[in-house]
Amino acid sequence: MLARMFNLALILALSGCSTTKTEVVTEKETELHNVNFVIGNITSIYDIKLSLGKIDFENAVFKEDWFSSLSYQYTKDRRYIVGSAKAGSFIAITSTKAQDASGTPLGTFTPCNQTLVFQLPYDALNVYVTDVNYQWNNVSITPIYSNKIEEAMIAFKTSYIKQAAFRQLSADLYKDCETLNPNPLIMTRPI
């Protein structure tokens, strides 16, 4: 009888230890790693502002997180934006500052109906999103996206860049924007 109680106590003690160990491993596995991202900036006269946020999946709307900061910078030649954030983060273009070739400011443009939104994947360390260019239309600009991942690999001398998925989503960046301009891709100056 004493031997059975000892065996039962030993089994309970060992299972308690293994449960604790499993919880520690699980906790470490949930820690998110940073993912480096690259966005091409084809025309250097545009200053792209990126922001972290979340997606309201029910309404398919990107909502900027005003209290978070995103770490990114332009390369020396301003051809690329390179940044870093936690895996799973949602990032979007929230404004674009434009100037002409002589450096005269043309204004800051906010995505009106839709903007570029991407999520950093959990299974990669380095991702390329897209190349961004703009077409000028008097008081608004239209973003044009193109896939130049091969150029990015050459520029950064690596083949370890994964393509990140991106999409156009409505952006909750300023009110009544959608009533001012019916074109979902246009970026307009906020009033």
Assign 152 a pLDDT band (cuts: 50, 70, 90): very high
Is pLDDT at 27 greater than 70 in this prediction? no
Is pLDDT at 14 greater than 60 in this prediction? no
- Which of the pair, 7 or 66, is modelled with greater confidence? 66
* CA–CA dist 154, 34 (Å, integer): 23
Contacts 24+ apart (CB under 8 A), 45-49: 45/98, 45/99, 45/100, 45/101, 46/96, 46/97, 46/98, 46/132, 46/134, 46/141, 47/96, 47/97, 47/98, 47/99, 48/81, 48/93, 48/95, 48/96, 48/132, 49/93, 49/94, 49/95, 49/96, 49/97
How does pLDDT run across 30-59, given as a tens digit for each residue?
Answer: 578 999 999 999 888 889 999 999 998 888
* CA–CA dist 62, 81 (Å, integer): 21
Residue 44: φ, ψ to 5°: -75, -5
Identify the top-confidence range among 14-23, 42-51, 86-95: 86-95
Phi/psi-derived region of residue 68, left when phi > 0, alpha when psi is between -120 and 50, beta in every other case: beta
HEC states along 104-171?
CEEEEEEECCEEEEEECCCCCCEEEEEEEEEEEECCEEEEEEECCHHHHHHHCCCCCCEECCEEEEEE
Rounded to 5°, the CA angle 133-136-139 comes to 130
pLDDT at 131: 95
pLDDT at 181: 63
